[in-house]
Amino acid sequence: MFPKITPQGIQFKLWAPEADEVVLRVYDGDTSRDFPMLRDYAGKHSYRLPNSAREVHYHYLINGQALPDPASTYQPQGVHGPSMVVDFDQHDWVDDQNWHGIPQTDLIFYELHIGTFTACGTYLSAIERLDELVDLGITAVQIMPLPQCPGRWNWGYDSVQLFAPNNNYGSPQELCEFIKACHRRGLAIYLDVVYNHLGPEGNYLGQFGPYFHDKATVWGDCPDMGRAEVREFFITNARYWIEQYHFDGIRFDAIAMIYDPMPVHIMNEIGTLYRELSQQLGREIHAIGESNIYQPEFLPEHGGNMHALWSDDIGHAAEACVAPINKHGTRHYNGTEDLLTALQQGCLYYRTAQGHGQRRSKDAPKVLINRCVNQLQNHDIVGNSPSGKRIHHYASTDAQRALAALIMLYPTLPMIFMGEEFSANTPFLFFTDFECAELRTAVELGRAREFPQHSWEAAISPTSPEAFYQSKLPAQADGEYSSLEWYGALLRERKKWNALELLQREHMEVLGVCEQGLYVLNYSSSDHSRFVAVKLGTGCSTLSISASKQIHCQSGMVSLQQNQLSMTENSCIIGSGLIEGL
């Protein structure tokens, strides 16, 4: 597994069962030395390098070919270069000892891409924008994948060295500084990782042994989680990011695409591990699965052990209400009717045993909405279209703000995509930087094949530097101040309602008039009542408020006379009391 520094030297370990001999080649400037490794009966090779320098650069030689370590902890020269040993004992975590994490019910996520979050695109420059997130009301930062990818920029889903943080963003020590900076500000930090495939360039894992199953995904080779050594590799990786870098949890990409024939799915095994680590380390640690459509078998109430699941049905249904011709998803959404159903049920689709998305019946078991992460926008919703437009680009900022209220004041865990809070004027495009010309062409053709509902003729090529640089997030001051104020108000309300224990399914009633594009969330307990009313359709709608008529915040054209509310298109109002008569 990954190299470890001990008092006796650096311990190297590698599983390469099909290699009779593996040689450790250690570099010292322009020279190198070779050390044959010891092989055991199971094909595990090991060598202890005594009395060596801390930052050792090395390759493994198999059949005469110099290859980077599959468990490399740093790749300073990229995916093809030598690996480097990281001395984790040199990372100073003293000021992190009092950090205990954020309870799951209090998580408010902010998804960002390190390379485009700032002009410099580094861990250290990202620290400069963290105070913006604190002021907004964010409690958790979720970073798109960091493990080493080929080239100068990438979304991160072409990772090939899963233990090595991306060298384009800075050193491992600088990543630690970023994580500590989050914790000092009261922000939890979550990492997005990809276990369903490895990227196509710099993927040397298969040359070490039978790591992959023959059922490759459309994105790359699929690890065989049915093989014990492969399973151990990925479980160790899941532990590694928590223990060595103090991440507060992991978002696991596309868990339905992970090949695992074992009785206990590896995601549930990792969920169990994280619960144990949480007890051992004395801090909140969460395993979150990206399923997109509801898969309850991963949740504790249904025999699983993950803490939460991504669910983007509400976001896609909301988007379909304001831009029905701009379909970013591969599933069908009917706009106003689906939004009402999604809010009432918590989701619209579930995944069948064959892996297909199928509509839930209205009498299906209730969705555990408190264990779902919901969002109006995310990297996929924005970036998987030719122009990378955000929702306000093809609807309006009023429509965005109205829909945001339904997400932020719903019982699911909310997430904001970077720049959404100030209606950023920049797109977020898909970008890669493969060296191989065939792969560059394959990416361009693959985008059109994976998302055929779009016209890609005029799209910026994802392999062009322009796609990366246009996706850079502008300064907050260059955005829409009214949106920023609105999102801040929504998150303040959410925290108040959470403190009153209102944001629970048993306290919620969802009402709507689809023909008017009118949606209401009523919350009531024995002591408190609150409502959210959103009007998307044209014309004017009149609503009655019972009990108190205190208005907390509003967006768009809304008027209140006595207990009667009048709302026009793309407006929202939030207050005490309940909406009646729908």
The pLDDT of residue 355 is 65
Q: Is the torsion defined by CA of 367, 373, 376, 378 positive or negative?
A: negative
The pLDDT of residue 354 is 64
- Model confidence pLDDT, tens digit, residues 362-389: 778 889 999 999 999 999 989 988 889 9
From residue 58, how far is each of 27, 201, 395 by CA, in Å? 6, 20, 53
Rounded to an integer, what distance in angstroms lies between the CA atom of residue 280 and that of residue 277? Answer: 5
- Residues 514-525: what's their mean pLDDT? 95
Task: Say which residues have a Cβ less than 8 Å from residue 118's Cβ, sequence separation at least 6.
Answer: 125, 126, 128, 129, 472, 473
Is the pLDDT assigned to residue 328 strictly greater than 60?
A: no
The pLDDT of residue 210 is 95
Helices assigned H by DSSP within 310-432: 313-322, 336-345, 379-383, 391-394, 397-408
Least confident of 54-58, 103-107, 197-201, 441-445: 441-445
Residue 514 three-state SS: helix
Smallest Cα–Cα separation from 268: which of 317, 307, 232, 218?
307
Among residues 69, 221, 248, 253, which one is catalytic? 253
- Model confidence pLDDT, tens digit, residues 484-505: 999 999 999 999 999 999 999 9
Q: Where are the chain's structural domains? A: 109-499, 510-580
Question: Catalytic annotation on 253?
Answer: yes
Measured in degrees and rounded to the nearest 5, phi and psi for residue 498 equal -65, -40
- Torsion region of 162: left, alpha or beta (phi above 0 gives left; psi -120 to 50 gives alpha): alpha
Instruction: Enter the tokens of residue 572.
Output: 């929202």
Q: Residues 343-367, buried b or exposed e (16+ Cβ, 10 A)?
A: bebbbbbbbeeeeebeebeeeeeeb
Fold classification of 109-499 is TIM Barrel (3.20.20)
The pLDDT of residue 325 is 55
- Residues 265-287: what's their mean pLDDT? 97
* pTM, two decimal places: 0.96
Helix (H), strand (E), coil (C) string for 423-489: CCCCCCCCCCCCCCHHHHHHHHHHHHHHCCCCCCCCCCCCCCHHHHHHCCCCCHHHCCHHHHHHHHH
Cβ count near 442 (within 10 Å): 15
The pLDDT of residue 341 is 94
Fold classification of 510-580 is Immunoglobulin-like (2.60.40)
Among residues 111, 192, 201, 290, which one is catalytic? 290
CA dihedral 410, 413, 415, 421 (to 10 degrees): 40
Task: Say which residues have a Cβ less than 8 Å from residue 329's Cβ, sequence separation at least 6.
Answer: 312, 316, 381
Task: Say which residues have a Cβ less than 8 Å from residue 461's Cβ, sequence separation at least 6.
Answer: 444, 467
Residue 47 three-state SS: strand
Cβ count near 41 (within 10 Å): 6
Smallest Cα–Cα separation from 247: which of 187, 304, 197, 160?
187
Is the pLDDT assigned to residue 417 strictly greater than 60?
A: yes
From residue 301, how far is each of 305, 309, 366, 367, 411 by CA, in Å? 8, 13, 12, 11, 17
